Amino acid sequence: MKIAMIAPIAWRTPPRHYGPWELVTSLLTEALVARGVDVTLFATQDSITSATLAGVVPRSYEEDPGIDAKVWEYAHLAHVFERAGEFDLIHNQADFPAHAFSGLVQTPMVTTIHGFSSDRILPMYKPYENRVHFVAISDADRHPSLKYAATIHHGIRLDEFPFVADGGEDLLFFGRMHPDKGAAQAIAVAQATGQRLNLYGIIQDQGYFDREVAPHLDDRIVYHGAVGGETRLRALGSAQALLHLINFDEPFGLSVIEAMACGTPVIAIDRGSMPELIDHGVTGLLVESAEEAIAALGQIAGIDRAAARRSVEARFSVEAMADRYIQLYQHILHCGTLCPADG
């Protein structure tokens, strides 16, 4: 089986710090190669992979202001589809622009939808649902009007996330500095309880950061920026709880399962995919508001950190993710491009 894997070009694959779509693309690519699948990864030229790397984009446009996103995205996609006949299947991880090319080739195509952001993008999905096999990353993120081939949850490499039996007393926020992600709500919880809060993540909305985060920073509310490597792993494991007080319907939430893999329970707003990831009262607590999160902190000591780890091992390993995708690929190749979706 020969697979063309299309990575986004916003960040390098895998990303140095932030870049969840690129991270998932890398995790899946490496797991497929480990299973003997012949994968060509179409990504930025500085990407790192054990697959065959095919790139025309020198660097990611988020890291190099000289890279025009629109120009290079078209060059990137043209490079893939000009070679479509070399592959048994194209797996698109880079959102809807690739759909414009799908009818020009015979090669079957899968698109992993990394979050259905708005009905405004539906015109680049709905007309292609009988040509492209859509994968949702959670049941919560399925758009009611679309056909889907499967829901496949993301997976992580468990051996990269060391279990920490005692995370200490600090609270953790790990995510974009953006109103959706709830950094302001996490700060409010920390201030109400008097606990130290460590915030990690890129500043995606500078105005929000300046208004809602920066004025509260002190020796107890600390912003560490975007981190990777060992620093990131220490942050995820060295906390009493991860506060994931989102203000939108989260499509998945990699930081949630990464924290749980380290043993850190999660207190999350009960929206989007959170009930699919968190077993309430076992691996974390689902709440309706920041006020409820404050009360929930009184119950967090009752969460078994080992149970949080076991849940991720059982449900969110990269091996399980790769197995699901291989099953889907085989199903599509057996049935043809109009293979029935699962609903």
Looking up residue 321, the CATH number of its domain turns out to be 3.40.50.2000
The verdict on 71 and 220 lying in the same domain is no
Q: Is residue 341 part of a domain?
A: no
The verdict on 132 and 213 lying in the same domain is no
pLDDT over threshold 80, residue 134? yes
Question: Where residue 342 falls among pLDDT bands split at 50, 70, 90?
Answer: low
Cα separations (Å) of 306 from 264, 284, 311? 9, 12, 9
The verdict on 70 and 149 lying in the same domain is yes
What is the mean predicted confidence (pLDDT) over 171-181? 97
According to the model, what pLDDT value does residue 118 have?
86
Range of the domain at 329: 2-155+317-335
According to the model, what pLDDT value does residue 228 have?
86
Number of domains present in the structure of the chain? 2
The verdict on 331 and 304 lying in the same domain is no
Give the number of other CB atoms < 10 A from CB of residue 137.
Answer: 24
The verdict on 77 and 188 lying in the same domain is no
134 touches 111 (CB < 8 A):
yes
Q: In what order do the strands lie in the sheet with 89-92?
A: 52-54, 38-42, 2-6, 89-92, 109-113, 132-136, 150-151
According to the model, what pLDDT value does residue 137 have?
97
Q: Is residue 343 part of a domain?
A: no
Give the tens place of pLDDT for each residue, 185-205. Answer: 999 999 999 999 999 999 999
Q: Is residue 340 part of a domain?
A: no
According to the model, what pLDDT value does residue 207 have?
98
The verdict on 134 and 202 lying in the same domain is no
Three-state secondary-structure class, residue 103: coil
Tokens describing residue 165 = 């039996």
Pairing of strands 150-151, 171-174: unpaired
The structure's pTM equals 0.91
The verdict on 149 and 163 lying in the same domain is no
Q: Which of 58, 97, 56 is nearest to 76 (CA)?
A: 56
The verdict on 129 and 176 lying in the same domain is no
Q: Give the number of residues written for the chain.
A: 343
The verdict on 165 and 304 lying in the same domain is yes
Q: Is residue 342 part of a domain?
A: no
Mean pLDDT of all residues belonging to the chain: 95
The verdict on 72 and 24 lying in the same domain is yes
Give the tens place of pLDDT for each residue, 142-171. Answer: 999 999 999 999 999 999 999 999 999 999
The verdict on 269 and 326 lying in the same domain is no
Q: Is residue 277 part of a domain?
A: yes
One DSSP character per residue, 182-232 reads: THHHHHHHHHHHT--EEEE--BS-HHHIIIIIGGG-SSSEEE--S--HHHH
The verdict on 77 and 181 lying in the same domain is no
Please state, in angstroms and rounded to a whole number, the distance separating the CA atoms of residues 123 and 23.
Answer: 27
Q: Is residue 255 part of a domain?
A: yes
Give the tens place of pLDDT for each residue, 1-16. Answer: 999 999 999 999 999 9
Q: Is residue 328 part of a domain?
A: yes
Q: Is residue 102 part of a domain?
A: yes
